Amino acid sequence: MNIILNGKNYSLEENFTVQKLLKKLEEDWSLDLSGAVVLVNDEIVKKDRWEENKIFKNAEIEVLSFVSGG
């Protein structure tokens, strides 16, 4: 299925949850996303709901991760 991830087209298998997507992105991007903020269709998904929140076709998802630096 296709979704929009951070403004770009992205393909996923069916039955993905937010948690499963973040694990995949951690591997693909080599980042720790445990502290990320996730929006699905402009609504924040709280971390305690990542495992149960399913992603549907054409969903618009934003994954925001903050990095400290100097």
- Summarize the confidence of residues 47-62 as an average pLDDT: 98
66 beta partners: none
Residue 47 domain-assigned (yes or no): yes
- Tell me the CATH number at 54: 3.10.20.30
Q: Which range marks the domain in which residue 41 is found?
A: 2-64
The single residue listed with the structure tokens 């991830």 is 5
Please indicate, yes or no, if residue 69 is contained in any of the structural domains.
Answer: no
Q: How many domains does the chain have?
A: 1
* Residue 70 included in any domain: no
Percent of the chain with pLDDT over 90: 89
d(CA 47, CA 41): 16
Average pLDDT over residues 38-45: 98
pLDDT digits (tens, 9 = 90+) for 15-40: 999 999 999 999 998 989 999 999 99
